[in-house]
A = this chain, B = another copy of it.
Amino acid sequence: MSRSPVDYLHGTLETLILKTLTRGPMHGYAVARWIEGATGETFPVEEGSLYPALYRMEKKGWVEAEWGVSELGRRAKLYRLTRAGRQQLARDTEAWQAFASAVTRVLARV
């Protein structure tokens, strides 16, 4: 669906969230910490970006939320990947690879 750079670019956080949730249902805070860890702190996830992103994704039907309990026994909203979300992840991943490799190729050019 995405055609312009801004779509790849601005969508990166959403794509990483989708990817994170393939590991199983998770609450927002855990998703953020996991992304940061997995990218070696290269991709900090601010809460002011995280929660709006999760709402957008819920509205688009990519994730479903349910109140539950975190690993530490706290009240937490658990997000689960939907079928549509899984399909979106496949499309996003392909689009990202094309975009990133194109940019990388140009920058690597001598």
Contacts and interface: CB of A to CB of B under 8 A. Distances in A.
Size band of the interface chain A makes with B? 20 to 34
A3 B43 CA distance: 9
A43 B102 contact: yes
Contact of A35 (B40, B98, B106): B106
Contact of A44 (B5, B10, B16, B104): B5
Interface in A1-21: 3-5, 9-10, 12-13, 15-16, 19
Given A19-B109, A109-B19, A103 B5 contact: no
Interface of A: 3-5, 9-10, 12-13, 15-16, 19, 35, 38-40, 42-44, 46, 93, 96-100, 102-107, 109
